[in-house]
Amino acid sequence: MDKNLLGTNIVTQIGIIVKDIEKVSQTYADFFGVEKPKWNWTDGYDKSHAEFNGKPSNARAKLAFLTWVSFK
């Protein structure tokens, strides 16, 4: 196989959507043996200008980052 699914071997970020960020971030922290990452809210529409189906959206999300994880 000459080409992988992504078309590159460089991946800078992977996002995982979950229902319970508190539970899942603790599970990942326990698995990797590190401190649970803090989460932050995304900005509201006034800063994000997010749209859904072409219309302004006030939707927000909680984000947590494991910035130290490296796979080889």
Q: Which residue in the block uniquely carries the two structure tokens 């979950």?
A: 18
Does residue 54 belong to any structural domain of this protein? yes
pLDDT by residue (tens digit) across 14-68?
889 999 999 999 999 999 888 999 999 999 999 999 999 999 999 999 999 987 6
Does residue 15 belong to any structural domain of this protein? no
Q: Give me the residues paired with residue 52 across strands.
A: 55
Does residue 9 belong to any structural domain of this protein? no
What is residue 70's predicted lDDT score, i.e. its pLDDT?
66
Q: What is the pTM of this model?
A: 0.66
The first and second tokens of residue 59, run together, are 């939707």
Tally the domains of the chain.
1
Does residue 59 belong to any structural domain of this protein? yes
Q: For residue 48, give its domain range.
A: 21-64
Does residue 56 belong to any structural domain of this protein? yes
Three-class secondary structure of residue 54 per DSSP: coil
Does residue 10 belong to any structural domain of this protein? no
Does residue 52 belong to any structural domain of this protein? yes
